[in-house]
């Protein structure tokens, strides 16, 4: 696991909600506003009913943002297929969905051998027990708080027990939440034990993104 000791709060804006015609400027704005990393949603139209960008976009962005941690949220069928391309493009962490992989241990090895950190995501309908055998081999576990595929959905508070289970069993683990997370829902995430906070429109569309990030960080740090 990636943490030693108490996990720290990390805020990662989801750039899917940004102006895709000027993605580099949007990314710079988020980092200048205090973001710790960027969360990039990759959707293939198969695993989820939506289509976004792939590794060519990452390959264009990374040279302009060489020191930024890119957390790739791979909402794709056959996640094994894109590991080498994402590594070559400069991805920092490859977060695949447990539901999409037929051989999780093999995929974890593949990601590590490619030089990336390993994230494993769970859809709302997947029990947290399904990921427990793989936690020790991963760097981060992502608990989806909406159905993956589209932004702007309502936060699912009933996913918080999954976070609580992971935090109680793995006190040093990086636990990420994604979907409907913002100032109105951050307290629930923080109290459950999440420390990696993905926020889309609540940050990206905010008049003052820095204030939103600072506020959420304060809530999470207080809970941790």
| pLDDT tens figures, 24-50 | 999 999 999 999 999 999 999 899 988
C-alpha to C-alpha distance for 69 and 92, rounded to whole angstroms: 6
**What's the CATH number for 10-223?**
3.20.20.70
* pLDDT tens digits, one per residue of 176-190: 999 999 999 999 999
Q: Could you give the CA distance from residue 178 to residue 166 in angstroms, rounded to a whole number?
A: 16
Q: How confident is the model at residue 206 (pLDDT cuts 50, 70, 90)?
A: very high
Catalytic annotation, pick one of 41, 71, 139, 174? 41
200 marked among binding-site residues: yes
Do 39 and 12 contact (CB within 8 A), yes or no?
yes
- Residue in 30, 46, 47 with CA at minimum distance from that of residue 38: 30
Residues of the chain with pLDDT > 90, as a percent, come to 89
Structure tokens at 183: 């100032």
Q: What is the CA radius of gyration of the chain?
A: 16
Taking the mean position of all CA atoms in its chain, how far away is CA 165?
19
Does 150 count as an annotated binding residue?
yes
Enter the pTM of the model: 0.95
pLDDT at 3 over 70: no
Dihedral of alpha carbons 32, 37, 39, 40, sign: positive
- The domain locations on the chain are 10-223
Say whether 70 counts as a known binding-site residue.
Answer: no
Q: Residues 6 or more apart from 218 whose CB is under 8 A from it? A: none
CA atoms of 58 and 69, how far apart (whole Å): 12
Asked if residue 55 belongs to a known ligand binding site, the reply is: no
- Among the listed residues 36, 44, 174, 178, the single catalytic one is 178
Q: Is 178 in the active site?
A: yes
> Quick check: is 36 catalytic?
no
Q: Answer yes or no: are the C-beta atoms of 39 and 213 closer than 8 Å.
A: no
Q: For residue 14, say whether it is annotated as part of any ligand binding site.
A: yes
Neighbouring-strand partners of residue 142: 121, 176
pLDDT bin (cut points 50, 70, 90) of residue 1 is very low
Query: Per residue in 91-125, pLDDT tens?
Result: 999 999 999 999 999 999 999 999 999 999 999 99
């Amino acid at each position: 696991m990636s943490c030693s000791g108490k996990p720290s709060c990390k805020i990662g804006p989801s750039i899917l909600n940004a102006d895709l015609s000027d993605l580099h400027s949007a990314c710079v704005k988020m980092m200048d506003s205090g973001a710790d990393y960027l969360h990039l949603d990759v959707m293939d139209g198969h695993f989820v009913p939506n289509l976004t960008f792939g590794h060519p976009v990452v390959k264009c962005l990374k040279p302009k943002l060489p020191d930024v941690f890119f957390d790739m949220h791979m909402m794709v069928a056959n996640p094994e297929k894109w590991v080498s391309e994402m590594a070559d493009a400069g991805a920092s962490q490859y977060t695949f969905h447990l539901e999409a992989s037929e051989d999780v241990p093999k995929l974890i090895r593949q990601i590590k051998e490619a030089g990336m950190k390993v994230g494993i995501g769970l859809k709302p309908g997947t029990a947290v027990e399904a990921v427990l055998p793989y936690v020790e081999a991963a760097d981060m576990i992502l608990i989806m708080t909406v159905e993956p595929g589209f932004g702007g959905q309502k936060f699912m508070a009933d996913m918080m027990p999954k976070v609580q289970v992971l935090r109680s069993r793995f006190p040093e683990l990086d636990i990420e939440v994604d979907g409907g997370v913002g100032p109105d829902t951050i307290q629930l995430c923080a109290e459950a034990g999440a420390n990696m906070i993905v926020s889309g429109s609540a940050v990206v569309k905010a008049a003052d993104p820095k204030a939103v990030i600072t506020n959420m960080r304060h809530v999470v740090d207080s809970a941790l």
